[in-house]
Structure formats: C-alpha cells, structure tokens
Chain A
Amino acid sequence: MAAQQAVVARIAPVAEDVVALDLDAADTPLLPWTPGAHVDLTLPNWLTRQYSLCGDPGDATRYRVAVRLDRLSRGGSEYIHRFLRAGRPLAVSAPRNHFALTPAPGHLFIAGGIGITPFLSMMDAIDDARLIYTGRHLGAMPFAADLRERHGDRVRIVETERDGRPDLRQVAAELAPGTLVHCCGPAAMTDHVQKIFPGVRLERFRPQPRTHRPNAAFEVLCARSGRTLAVPPNRSLLDALADEGVAVASGCREGVCGSCELRVLDGEPEHRDDIGAPAGRMYACVSRALGPRLVLDL
C-alpha cells in the first residue's frame, strides 16, 4: 500500500484514556477519503496500527484519528499515548474503506466507546442518519458533546453505568424498512448487535475468534512473473511470498486491515479474514487455498 508522509501536528486528550492525533501533510496533499475509511500508521517502534479517520474528509492538509489506550496494549496505543511526540514524521497508508456508506432509505449507526470514530464523518454525510452512542459514562466517550451539538436529537447518548444497555430489540422493532445498520465497537457489542440486526455492517477492533480446518500445503502460480512457489502448512501465503522475494504490502497481519489484498485469477481461496473479501480477491496474511493451487495476479 502506497505510503504517504505525514507529520504529527498535535496529540491532545479528548476523553478519559483517549487522545486525538492530528497528522499534517508533509510535502504533498494527503490522499482523499470517504466516511468510514481507515489508515495504517507505521509507528517508530515498527508496529503498524489501523485507525478510522475522524476528521474532515474535505481537508487534504490534515488527517485526524482518535486512539484509546488499551490496558493490554502490545505497543501501539501505548506508544501513541506515552511516547509519540509532535513533529515526528510518520508513514501513513493510503486510506481504505471496508465500512463505506451506501445509499439506503435510512441509516442507523451504533457505536461503542472509541468505535465512534468512523461515524463522526458519516453523521455529517447523511442528513437523516441516527446514531446510538454507548459508553460507560460521558467522560469516557470522546466527541459526545460535539455530536450532540452538531446533530441534536439524531444522536442518542447512552451512559451504561447510569442508563444500562440500550434496548436494541425495541430499536429494531421500530426500525423503518430498508434501514441500513452500521456498528463499530468492542466484540461483546458487535456480537450482540449482529444477533438483533442480521444485515448489520460491522467494523471490529480485533479479529473474530474462529476455527479453521487444519492448514494444508498448496501451490501458487504468479501469473505475471510465471513463477511457481509452494506454501507449506506452517507458513502464511504472505510469508511464503516474501520468502521467495515477492514483496506484498501488509499491515495488521490478522485479516482486519486489507493491506495485503491480492487478485485471484484462478483457484478457490479459503477466506479467513474479517473484512469479507470481494469476489476475485483475497488477503494473503490469513487466507489460504481450498484446492491444491491458486493463480495470483503477481
């Protein structure tokens, strides 16, 4: 994925354990994005992390993301909160959108905590969209006041410590036909929402735990170069390609971010990602092959 250069302009607290990170264009304007898009940030400690863009999609001089400090941080959110400094150049990927808005008679957005970030620009984009935003209490809910101010009654704030969880079955019962539901939040929330709104579009923080059939070896033909290589059971497709010097961009390496998307020309992939690969595409970090062979556009 093509990287862009940006500079950390500002890191400022916006709620308990949440900072907003402003990234300014270094030399050339930043690539455009649409509501729901995210970028990969490559941090100085070599870790790559995905964050939803939550600034103004029309602003090519600045990206904004918001980052919650994870108590069990492996070094991404901890680094941003504790060690990242203003003025530091950062590589930022081109924006990608697996959570895009599509036309529908109505839109309902359901956000939990830091899962609010993709919905900030989505609320601006759709005049009659409604938002249910839950969090423990107001102090831990970034942008809550701002959302109420901009969108008034279209935003329902639920403080679970005071109000308990929202009655989503009630919400579902009253939903106008054809309403498209988007949800972003912690796993407990996305799992619950999926049961009540079967057609919901989800964005998860972490991959969904799942079981796969045992890894099998398969063969890959790189159609453009004509090279054939073997993917052993204990190597990912991404790593097997790298072993043979076929560099493929990668980000999360756990099937969430979409950086390592490849075009499949023949053979049937075994999809193991959390994105939902479009037809004829696969994500090399986690997905494998159902049959003995794949032909890839490489």
Chain B
Amino acid sequence: MHRVAPDEVRARIGEPDALTRMKKFGHIDAHVRRFIAHSPFLTMATADAAGNADCTPRGDYPGFAKVLDERTLAIPDRPGNKLADSFTNLAENDGIGLLFLIPGMIETVRVNGRAWVTDEPDVLARMQTEASTPMLAIVVEVAEVYFHCGRALLRSRLWDADSQALAAEAPTMADVVADLVGGDVETITKHVRAGYRELF
C-alpha cells in the first residue's frame, strides 16, 4: 500500500484557519472547565516507551474528572479489567491524550499533557462515590486544550436515538468470550451482567 510522506499529507490537507488555531489553549479556561464539569465520559490515550499506543474509556458521573486548577486535572481510577495498561504506559512514557464527551453535544474537548499517578488523600476524597473511594488517581499536567468541532459526531450520528439500533447487530461481550473459552452464551451473559452490577 502506498505510504504518503508526512510533508505530502500536510500539503494535501492544507493549513488550519485562524479561528481553529485560536481554539487551542495552553490551560483550562472557564468554558472548558464548565465542559469538563458536565462530561461523564472520556477516552484516555497513552503509549509505552517504544510508542505502542493504547486508548481506554473512562466514565462516571458528570465532572468525575476533577479540575484542580487551570493547568491540572485528576481522573479517578475506578475498578476495571485490572490490565492497568494506562498505568504501565505512563510509567514509561508520561504523554497522555484525553477526549471528553457530553451526551447530546457534538463538540468535544481534547486535553493533552503529561501524567503521573497519585494517592493524595485530598484528591481521592474529591472522587468518593457512595461507599467507595478510588485508591489511585491520574494527575494530568495540562499542556494543550482544544475545543473540537462537531463534524465527526454529526457524521457519525452518535447521539441520534435511531443509531442505537446498531448495538443489536454488534457482537456482545458474551459472544466474544464464548468463542474464546467455550460455554453457552446465555450463561456467560448472566455472568457479564452480574459483573456490570459492581460498578464501583
């Protein structure tokens, strides 16, 4: 397959306009703070020292990612699959890229920076839900914040109610597990559902 050289890519895409460049900030301003306070979901991209990249979903109540000040964010570590891919990557390479989404909103917010892990009680206290407090949080030192336009979400019809019919056609977690380890889909579905009850 033909590989397009990096300078050729730029030539074909063209340069961003002035407004687009203006939407890039070096800090979390009042609008972005308000956006993050209403976002229940983000994707977190990290890579190891060799550049092997990974992207994981994180979600909780809106504002679960806490803005500590205009250059610092903290994201709680909730129980997940214990693969700890993000932690392993951050130990080798502290670069991080976040994409915040708000249901119903086509614009997204991108935050890039450097990250490390903390167990600071004052930070964890702000992330308590019901009966649980996270053991760890990821602190992001913000280098770049960008208010991203809504074209991708418009084209993808991400928030259209009709789009949810797609889920019925996709493989379920139980389908995947049944193919991997055997067993009947119905039993595995029950296990998966039981697991999903333990959210925190």
Contacts and interface: CB of A to CB of B under 8 A. Distances in A.
Interface string B21-44: 000000000000110011010000
Nearest to A242: B197
B122 A72 contact: yes
Interface residues of B, number: 19
Given A47-B61, A239-B197, A83 B34 contact: yes
A45 B62 contact: yes
A294 to B, nearest CB: 20
B126 A79 contact: no
Contacts of B198: 234
B95 interface: no
B125 to A, nearest CB: 4
Contact of A75 (B34, B61, B130, B197): B61
A232 to B, nearest CB: 10
Interface string B67-105: 000000000000000000000000000000000000000
A235 B128 CA distance: 18
Contact of A73 (B126, B129, B197): B126
Contact of B37 (A79, A239, A243, A253): A79
B37 A254 contact: no
Contact of A253 (B40, B62, B122, B130): B130
Interface in B11-66: 33-34, 37-38, 40, 61-64
Q: Is the interface of B mostly helix, strand, loop or mixed?
A: loop
A82 interface: yes
A84 B138 CA distance: 27
A interface: dominant SS: loop
Contacts of B37: 45, 75, 78-79, 82-83
B139 interface: no
B166 interface: no
B118 to A, nearest CB: 15
Given A45-B62, A45-B63, A239-B197, A254 B34 contact: no
Contact of A243 (B125, B127, B130, B197): B197
A37 to B, nearest CB: 24
Given A79-B37, A253-B131, A46 B61 contact: yes
A72 B62 CA distance: 17
B130 A254 contact: yes
A40 to B, nearest CB: 15
A192 interface: no
Nearest to A239: B197
A74 interface: yes
B131 A79 contact: no
Nearest to B197: A243
Interface in A224-255: 234-236, 239, 243, 253-254
A234 B127 CA distance: 21
Contacts of A73: 126
Which among B38, B40, B126 has the highest number of chain A CB atoms within 10 Å? B126
A267 interface: no
Given A44-B38, A75-B63, A83-B34, A254 B131 contact: yes
A45 B61 contact: yes
Interface string A253-282: 110000000000000000000000000000
A74 B38 CA distance: 13
A266 to B, nearest CB: 27
Interface in A69-96: 72-75, 78-79, 82-83
A17 to B, nearest CB: 16
A234 B131 CA distance: 12
B197 to A, nearest CB: 6
A235 B33 CA distance: 35
A41 to B, nearest CB: 15
Interface of A: 44-47, 72-75, 78-79, 82-83, 234-236, 239, 243, 253-254
Counting from the closest, the 5 A-B pairs by CB-CB distance are A45-B62, A72-B125, A253-B130, A75-B63, A46-B61
